[in-house]
Chain A
């Protein structure tokens, strides 16, 4: 159901009606029991009264029998439709079975055959509740009966009296529920209105000071979402500004070199300018690739997928990818794996690949011609250590911390790379919980990376 108001309305109306119905059934049952009890008591009372009256000889049973016989009895009993008149019918029978007397409403036929107590009987289609009592002194039997139809009508009237207001009240109640819901749900509408009026850039938190307790969790989740979206946007904006900034310098270089090539009449100058354009395009495209990598590493949208990654195989893969660079510099990439076991670690493959690719690329690029890059891999239950060493000049100790910073450009980066590589490494390692350390070996520079086993979250 789409409308919360309609849903609440239906629930409230159904439950209210159910309560009403239950209450009615209960009242009906208890009224019936009570009425039966009272009327039964009245029957008993009446029978005893009649019996005691005739015992005092105020009524002569024998003569009464003659009178009774002379009277023409009504053809049949008719329960009064409109009122409760002639509720009780009374018959006095001799023990021999002669009708000695009867009240005006009583039928001529015997109301009941039993001698003592209550019984439900049916005479000429009319149902009776009959109480019988035997007067042994006079040898008569007194029967007092109630028409069950009248009794039922009595109960029905009581219940009807209760139900009628309910039938009138229920629509009124429904209307009140409907209006109250509108009022009760107003805080939601207010929030909806305040959110609907927002522009895409308005990510400030929704004010929750006046919000009801039940709405607060929603507002708090919304605000936390706003904050995350805001942070993501901020990151994106920073990144875009950074990327634009980083690309403008190579573009300026390309443009000036192109203008030189167009303008110069000296063939040697033209050739050199074109050669520089070619290298600059290569470098710029690498930079663009790194910027895209950086955006991928920086983005928290993509969840990490831990899996078993064979590090030695991965390095082999990356080395194949870098073949263009390694071949042009005649650099060999050697992988030495810890022999005892497979060198695998549970981590996010994409992020690990990005980190290792950039470390390896740096190593190859800083290697002297014909040099060798060595990758040593050792894995344990807790993670893997990867040491990539080259024979290049390395990074000055003073710069070890600075090169890891996001968007930092090394002082020597200008001649070789964009300086983005180590930022990507650092950002990727941060996400998979790894760390990096630099050291200067015997004939070069070593980058040691620690990759912990990533727990599934």
Chain B
């Protein structure tokens, strides 16, 4: 799942980036309102983590611009101001959730998963397909009673496939979910990780649609 993190404090931004990557997210990071607005216009993210106090304005400006442009990407506000009035203000401006600083990394990840899930209209936190249950909180998949831990990249690919099981995912669209802007895309990563997933879940779980991409097998 690809995230945009907007935060001007260098150490916190780095912490969010590394920490959320460890939780299975792909993270892009910007530090200003201007960069954030450019990013949400140019790219699609599953969620945006937004700090309120930014050097060139308020995070609420970014939020307002997104909602004006009918961008329904879930937004989690992070802020040091945690009075009730501030929370109400943020939520009324169109934020999906609100977290006061300092926060727990796991809580940020859990809230992000929750607002993304709600955005997709799902109640169940796990993704289930053909007897396989993917637990995003633990980055594990359970199939036939066997629990398998996934690497960050494996998890990201499987999550993308299971969120939309019927559709075919092209290699570039999967790469986009795996890599942030600053990361260099390695040419055969998707193939390598699909191979590893097949080894863990059974060769027939992911189908290759030749020349187009990958999808989950629809029937046994």
Contacts and interface: CB of A to CB of B under 8 A. Distances in A.
B11 A254 contact: yes
Main secondary structure of the interface of B (DSSP, over half): mixed
A409 B55 contact: yes
Interface stretch (B99-107, B166-174, B192-200, B205-213): B99-107
B19 A251 contact: no
A411 interface: yes
A66 B44 CA distance: 158
A263 B78 CA distance: 22
A259 B51 CA distance: 20
Nearest to B56: A411
B113 to A, nearest CB: 17
Contacts of B71: none
**Interface residues of chain A: helix, strand, loop or mixed (majority):** helix
B101 A257 contact: no
A245 B102 CA distance: 10
B10 interface: yes
B18 A255 contact: no
A259 B101 contact: no
Given A260-B19, A411-B55, A255 B103 contact: yes
Contacts of B106: 259
A257 B11 CA distance: 8
Contact of A253 (B15, B32, B55, B104): B15
Contacts of B18: 260, 264, 269, 272-273
A197 interface: no
A410 B55 contact: yes
A224 interface: no
Contact of A245 (B32, B55, B81, B105): B81
Interface string A382-415: 0000000000000000000000000001111111
A256 interface: yes
Given A256-B16, A260-B22, A414-B55, A280 B101 contact: no
Given A245-B80, A264-B22, A255 B104 contact: yes
A256 B8 contact: no
B14 A257 contact: yes
Contacts of B53: 245, 249, 409
Given A244-B80, A250-B11, A276-B11, A256 B105 contact: yes
A260 B15 contact: yes
A251 B78 CA distance: 13
Interface residues of A, number: 32
Interface string A235-253: 0000000001110111111
Nearest to A279: B11
B15 A249 contact: no
A259 B15 CA distance: 9
B9 A249 contact: yes
Nearest to A281: B11
Given A249-B80, A409-B55, A411-B55, A260 B105 contact: yes
17 contacts: A245-B53, A245-B81, A250-B11, A251-B101, A252-B80, A252-B101, A254-B102, A255-B105, A256-B16, A259-B15, A259-B19, A259-B104, A260-B15, A260-B19, A263-B19, A276-B14, A279-B11
Interface of B: 8-12, 14-16, 18-19, 22, 31-32, 51, 53, 55-56, 78, 80-81, 100-106
8 nearest A-B pairs in the assembled complex, by CB-CB distance: A256-B15, A253-B12, A253-B11, A411-B55, A248-B80, A252-B102, A252-B101, A248-B101
Given A254-B102, A280-B11, A409-B53, 17 more contacts: A245-B53, A246-B80, A248-B100, A248-B102, A251-B101, A252-B78, A252-B101, A255-B103, A256-B12, A260-B18, A260-B105, A263-B22, A273-B15, A276-B15, A283-B11, A409-B55, A415-B10
